[in-house]
């Protein structure tokens, strides 16, 4: 392609609305333009780059025997009602009515649609297993789109779905996807980590997220370098940190003391001199219609997903102030487990074995000291707290650390949630009707590009991996008015094109500095500079990432560059783990 004919609207200044690096660079380098909040137009460079990502994804999906299909983005409400998700999903789903008033939605994911297809087609165990995938637009009415392409309302997803006769088949399909995803992210040149994740409303038993560590990420991952444990924060299980002060001795039992006006743990801790870790945090929650009390160490936070798990999937909400007073006769700052008769008490395991702690007295203006779990109240223990940096790893006992990351992929073992609710069954070898088990596997195409930019950039702009950069090389004649330079540039451009190099010719009538800055900004991995030295039969080859350059004989350039690019191409199995 000839740059002079392309629309690559690079900007000299950072756009005011962009905060994160990838967002700034995507705008500055002329990859994208914003249509409205969370909606982006992909210009030529973005489209080329994303197309390369999609091709890598296709190749690796095909390699595990997946079949590419396409299903509409617009879905009738009926199938979502069958699975139960029409009601289970809240405002995140775009819903609309057609002219007859029939309800529809824009697909956020496609379990219902593929199950609809499958139940109409699959009859026999002989037809299984199946792996279907597509690369297609997904819509989510995000409450707060942000960070450029990171969190948007329309994005491109590769989503695949597997159908197997049994758990063993699903396990195999899941493992093959895991391997395919590693190959994909390796080939896209990403540093990434597979982590244990929470399945959420998607359902199912097991899930794994593929995370690209980056300060711009929105998820937290918890990891132990010692044991190799890695999990999403919302799923992570750790051993609590030791309390800041040892528990006081003695068996005196709870003793009331006045704490007027001190409601928060911090205020009471500052008042009574005991650290937060010696306090019991008491939260009144409501699950369905029944109130229950959740107990945590004063310096821990409740992980609501873990609580929901403990309640067998039921979501609990914090009680309203009137409910708290009605239930316990005191305000939120003064409630506690002692004497909270009739309430179900759920305690975090960090409280097990502790003695003589401080808790609310269920009486405004008073707390209790000397509260010992198990003696002064009876609770069921389970893991309810959010993991924190510095907690101990369950296996190795070493401290865990937390990092921010971008979720680029997520794979789920769904089980029979959709096949059962939507009536998919096949006959097995014995002629009996069996419900197949399903898996579902997603990759955010744009997030791969975003992650690659976040991980590969400098002051000058993007430094993209050769596999997903919009072009592999650019040929830059320094002075287009110089016939010799222009001619050599044209020849090299032709030669490289014939060798299959994805090359761009910067034939613009611009000064050299402008061309160099633009090439650096849009992140082309190699630049061939055709300048004064052509008279000596030499051109310059420079690498974007390392900024290294060397003089090369004109006749040898094309073949040499071809080899260079092949060597630089990120490869599967190269171990892109961060």
Binding site for RNA (CB under 7 A): 10-17, 19-20, 23, 28, 34, 36-38, 85, 88-92, 108-109, 111, 140, 142-147, 200-202, 218, 410, 460, 478-479, 481, 511-514, 516-518, 520-521, 529-533, 540, 542, 549
Quick one: how far is CA 97 from the chain centroid? 31
266: enclosing H helix or E strand: helix 265-272
Q: What separation in angstroms does the CA of 362 have from each of 45, 287, 337, 453, 459?
A: 63, 21, 8, 54, 58
CA-nearest of 296, 463, 451, 264 to 373 is: 296
Which C-beta is closer to RNA: that of 148 or that of 336? 148
Tell me the closest approach of the beta carbon of residue 329 to RNA, in angstroms. 27
Tell me the closest approach of the beta carbon of residue 240 to RNA, in angstroms. 22
Tell me the closest approach of the beta carbon of residue 432 to RNA, in angstroms. 30
Tell me the closest approach of the beta carbon of residue 478 to RNA, in angstroms. 4
Which C-beta is closer to RNA: that of 364 or that of 540? 540
Tell me the closest approach of the beta carbon of residue 157 to RNA, in angstroms. 9
- Separation between Cα atoms, residue 221 and residue 210, nearest integer Å: 10
Number of residues that make up the chain = 578
Which C-beta is closer to RNA: that of 252 or that of 514? 514
Tell me the closest approach of the beta carbon of residue 79 to RNA, in angstroms. 11
Name the 3-class secondary structure at 64. Answer: coil
Which C-beta is closer to RNA: that of 11 or that of 96? 11
Tell me the closest approach of the beta carbon of residue 421 to RNA, in angstroms. 12
**Residue given tokens 């992929």 in the structure block:** 409
71: enclosing H helix or E strand: none
Which C-beta is closer to RNA: that of 80 or that of 334? 80
Task: Give just the sign of the alpha carbon dihedral 17, 22, 28, 34.
Answer: negative
466: enclosing H helix or E strand: none
- Residue-wise DSSP of 405-457: EEEEEEEEEEETHHHHHTT--EE-TTS-EE--EEEEEEEEHHHHHHHHHHHSE
Which C-beta is closer to RNA: that of 96 or that of 566? 96
Which C-beta is closer to RNA: that of 260 or that of 513? 513
Asked if residue 280 has a cis previous peptide bond (ω within 30° of 0), the answer is no
């Amino acid at each position: 392609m000839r740059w002079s004919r392309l629309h690559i609207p690079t900007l000299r200044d950072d756009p005011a609305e962009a905060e994160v690096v990838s967002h700034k660079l995507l705008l500055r380098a002329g990859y994208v333009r914003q249509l409205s909040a969370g909606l982006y137009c992909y210009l030529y460079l973005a489209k080329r780059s994303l197309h390369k990502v999609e091709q890598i994804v296709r190749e690796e999906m095909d390699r595990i025997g997946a079949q590419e299909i396409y299903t509409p983005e617009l879905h009738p409400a009926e199938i979502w009602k069958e699975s139960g998700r029409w009601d289970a999903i809240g405002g995140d789903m775009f819903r609309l009515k057609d002219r007859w008033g029939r309800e529809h939605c824009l697909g956020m994911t496609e379990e219902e649609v593929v199950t609809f297809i499958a139940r109409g087609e699959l009859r026999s165990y002989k037809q299984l297993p199946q792996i279907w995938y597509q690369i297609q637009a997904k819509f989510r009415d995000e409450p707060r789109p942000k960070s450029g392409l990171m969190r948007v309302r329309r994005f491109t997803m590769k989503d695949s779905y597997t159908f197997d006769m049994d758990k063993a088949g699903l396990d195999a399909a899941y493992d093959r996807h895991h391997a395919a995803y590693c190959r994909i992210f390796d080939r896209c040149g990403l540093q990434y980590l597979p982590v244990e994740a929470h399945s959420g409303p998607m359902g199912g038993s097991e899930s794994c997220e593929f995370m690209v560590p980056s300060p711009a990420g929105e998820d937290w991952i918890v990891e132990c370098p010692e044991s190799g444990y890695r999990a999403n924060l919302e799923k992570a299980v750790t051993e609590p940190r030791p309390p800041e002060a040892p528990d006081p001795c003695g068996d005196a039992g709870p003793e009331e003391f006045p704490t007027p006006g001190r409601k928060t743990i911090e205020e009471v801790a500052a008042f009574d001199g005991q650290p937060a870790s010696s306090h019991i945090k008491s939260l009144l929650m409501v699950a369905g219609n029944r109130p229950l009390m959740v107990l945590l160490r004063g310096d821990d936070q409740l992980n609501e997903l873990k609580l929901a798990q403990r309640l067998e999937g039921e979501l609990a909400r914090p009680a309203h102030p009137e409910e708290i007073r009605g239930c316990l006769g005191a305000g939120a700052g003064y409630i506690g487990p002692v004497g909270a008769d009739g309430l179900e008490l759920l305690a975090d395991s960090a409280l097990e074995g502790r003695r003589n702690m401080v808790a609310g007295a269920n009486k405004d203006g008073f707390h209790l000291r000397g509260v010992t779990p198990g003696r002064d109240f009876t609770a069921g223990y389970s893991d309810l707290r959010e993991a924190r940096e510095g907690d101990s790893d369950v296996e190795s006992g070493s401290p865990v650390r937390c990092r921010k990351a971008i979720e680029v992929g997520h794979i789920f073992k769904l089980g029979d949630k959709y096949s059962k609710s939507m009536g998919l069954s096949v006959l097995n070898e014995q002629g009996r009707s069996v419900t197949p088990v399903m898996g579902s596997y997603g990759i955010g195409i744009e997030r791969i590009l975003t992650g690659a930019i976040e991980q590969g950039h400098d002051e000058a702009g993007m430094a993209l991996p050769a596999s997903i950069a919009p072009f592999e090389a650019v040929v830059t004649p320094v002075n287009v008015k110089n016939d010799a330079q222009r001619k050599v540039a044209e020849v090299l451009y032709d030669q490289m094109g014939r060798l299959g190099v994805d090359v761009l010719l910067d034939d613009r009538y611009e000064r050299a500095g402008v061309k160099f800055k633009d090439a650096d900004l849009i992140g082309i991995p190699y630049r061939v500079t055709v300048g004064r030295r052509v008279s000596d039969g030499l051109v310059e080859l420079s690498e974007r990432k390392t900024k290294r350059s060397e003089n090369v004989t004109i006749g040898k350039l094309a073949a040499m560059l071809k080899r260079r690019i092949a060597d630089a191409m990120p490869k599967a199995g190269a171990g892109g783990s961060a």
